[in-house]
Chain A
Amino acid sequence: MKANAIVFEALTFILFLVFYRGASHAMGKSRNRAFFLGAVLFSLIIQTLAVALGAMNFYWYAINSYYKTYPLGGYVIWLGVVPLAACLLWYMVTATCQMVSTILMPKAKIWSRSAVAGAIAVGFYALIQPVAVTNHWWTWNLKSFYIIDIPLVALFAVFGSVFLFNVVYELTVLEPKDQKTLKRFEDKTIKRLAFKSNRHAKNLNWRQLEWLFMFRLVLAVVVFAAYIAPVVAIFWAVANRGQIPPGW
């Protein structure tokens, strides 16, 4: 039996509605809204880059002959080249990992808590990915070392992205802090141009804090790219599977 992309999409949307309400209670409305917006944009940028560079593909289902057989065919709502359901799934997994790591390790440092969150997210995706690739919800086409038909790069990417997102969220929204390495850069850019003051992150109002969060997420994307590029290069060298010829 084939679980269509529409099954995945419907499942994700229904669970998302309940999850968002629960997360609003758990985090607070504004914080959850910021987390949600940040997570969707962050995952959207990363997945769009992955599609653009040919590492992954969400189109298999949409252009397949099944498209005619089933009503609505593939995904219904797209954000460019990435279906909304994939971004919502990433948000739900990241928020869950953030909550679980905070509950299980309340006194741990932010960095180790975020690392645990990243590890739990890898567990989630290790379960989801085989089902997803089997049913062509998305496909991987990357010269890499594969385990259970999932490129290891993808699992490293899940860990890195969830880890970085959680670090940024906790350092900006939950416990606003100025990082020494970033302070000078932030003072010259977002604080001077948008806030017109060099106040400490702790003393910013909520609206400014939200903008600072988004600004730091952009920096996190750059850090993520710097982290994943050597990983891709290493796995490219020791690959056990090549790329499928073009024509997707």
Chain B
Amino acid sequence: MANKRIELEQYKYYVTLLDEEPSRKIVRRGVVTCLIVMSLLVLGMFVLGILSTDLAKNAGNITQTPQPATPSTTVPGQQQTPGGTQIPGGTQLPSGVPEIPTQTPSGGPGSMAPGGPAVALSDAGVLPAQSGTGAGVLLAQAAPTPTQTSTPTLTAPPGSMPAGTAPSTAPSEKPLPETTTGAGNLSKLTTGAGGRGLQIYLLVLTIVLIVVMYLAIRRVRLEGRSK
């Protein structure tokens, strides 16, 4: 009885195996389908990489801290900046005021932190309260958050310190940078080789991967023809 059960179980296993061994033709078709799909994925990544070149040029983009989303309520007649900050209709910047580059805490020309432009404008004092009630809303939104606290520095004249109390020159451990430096930096790669570094890198990898998959497809097809 026990032997019979073992035999049946083994039989069941072989049936599954038979079910699991599709004909070589179907297997070949499946392999080719998978490899073509992955080639498309590789090409897609290449295209997305090329489209992202301008983002990759920004050194701060990779390590940029996400900004919390600010609530925005759109009022008719008001313009909305990409960051969600509204500029009331009729607000005009005084002529001759130079455009101030937006600088987020993490820095980076490509960063799109909400409220960035408004902070810069209010910091520069170029938004006078002449635009009616909208200006209050704008200024409230644009109120700069204290990100940096300036600590008063004490500069002692030379020779004023008592003997034996030299300024601490002990070598303090240099903290590691928060952004990648040197050759490992994506923005450096992007701007390298005449601004085509990232494109060359992506192109080489894409070609290598597609060649590997082509070799596999060719071998599968050769096997199909030989049989």
Chain A: residues with CB nearer than 8 A to chain B? 1-3, 7-8, 11, 15, 18-19, 21-31, 59-60, 63-69, 92-93, 95-96, 99-100, 103-104, 120, 123-124, 126-128, 130-131, 133-135, 139, 143, 145-149, 203-206, 239-245, 247-248
> Which of A68, A96, A124 counts the most chain B CB atoms within 10 A?
A96
> Which of B19, B84, B216 counts the most chain A CB atoms within 10 A?
B216
Alpha-carbon separation in the docked complex, A95 to B179 (Å): 34
A25 and B22 form a contact (CB under 8 A): yes
Is B99 an interface position by the 8 A CB rule? no
State the main secondary structure of chain B at its contact with A. helix
Is B45 an interface position by the 8 A CB rule? yes
> Which of A67, A95, A149, A203 counts the most chain B CB atoms within 10 A?
A149
Residue of A nearest to B215 (CB): A104
**Between-chain CB contacts (< 8 Å), 20 pairs:** A15-B40, A21-B33, A60-B66, A64-B66, A65-B67, A92-B38, A99-B34, A120-B212, A123-B212, A126-B205, A127-B46, A130-B201, A131-B202, A135-B55, A148-B201, A149-B180, A149-B186, A205-B13, A206-B13, A241-B177
CB distance from B97 to the nearest CB of A (A): 26
CB distance from A51 to the nearest CB of B (A): 15
From B34, B186, B219, contact of A134 by CB (8 A): B186
> Which of B10, B26, B49, B62 counts the most chain A CB atoms within 10 A?
B62
Is B196 an interface position by the 8 A CB rule? no
Task: Evaluate whether A30 and B20 lie within 8 angstroms (CB atoms) in the complex, with A22-B37, A65-B84, A128-B45 already known.
Answer: yes
Q: Mark contacts of B20-36 with chain A using CB atoms, 8 A cut-off: 1 yes-contact digit, 0 otherwise.
A: 11100011011111110
Residue of B nearest to A203 (CB): B10
B186 and A65 form a contact (CB under 8 A): no
Alpha-carbon separation in the docked complex, A248 to B68 (Å): 10
Task: Evaluate whether A19 and B34 lie within 8 angstroms (CB atoms) in the complex, with A127-B206, A244-B63 already known.
Answer: yes
B19 and A99 form a contact (CB under 8 A): no
- Chain B 183-227 residues near chain A, CB threshold 8 A: 183-186, 189, 198, 201-202, 205-206, 208-209, 212-213, 215-216, 219-220
- Chain B 28-77 residues near chain A, CB threshold 8 A: 29-35, 37-38, 40-42, 44-46, 48-49, 51-52, 54-56, 61-63, 65-70, 72
By a CB distance below 8 angstroms, the chain A residues around B40 are 15
Alpha-carbon separation in the docked complex, A8 to B68 (Å): 23
A64 and B69 form a contact (CB under 8 A): yes
A248 and B66 form a contact (CB under 8 A): yes
A149 and B184 form a contact (CB under 8 A): yes
Chain B contact-residue range equals: 35 or more
Residue of A nearest to B47 (CB): A3
> Which of B42, B66, B198 counts the most chain A CB atoms within 10 A?
B66
A135 and B31 form a contact (CB under 8 A): no
B220 and A133 form a contact (CB under 8 A): no
Alpha-carbon separation in the docked complex, A2 to B48 (Å): 9
CB distance from A50 to the nearest CB of B (A): 17
CB distance from A85 to the nearest CB of B (A): 12
From A26, A100, A143, contact of B213 by CB (8 A): A100
> Which of A2, A24, A30, A239 counts the most chain B CB atoms within 10 A?
A2
B176 and A205 form a contact (CB under 8 A): no
By a CB distance below 8 angstroms, the chain A residues around B13 are 203-206
Is B114 an interface position by the 8 A CB rule? yes
By a CB distance below 8 angstroms, the chain B residues around A15 are 37, 40-41, 44
Alpha-carbon separation in the docked complex, A27 to B29 (Å): 11
Alpha-carbon separation in the docked complex, A126 to B45 (Å): 11
By a CB distance below 8 angstroms, the chain A residues around B114 are 65
Given contacts A28-B21, A99-B34, 9 further A-B contacts (CB under 8 A): A21-B33, A68-B69, A100-B216, A131-B49, A134-B186, A205-B9, A241-B178, A241-B180, A243-B178
By a CB distance below 8 angstroms, the chain B residues around A64 are 66-67, 69
By a CB distance below 8 angstroms, the chain B residues around A242 are 175-178
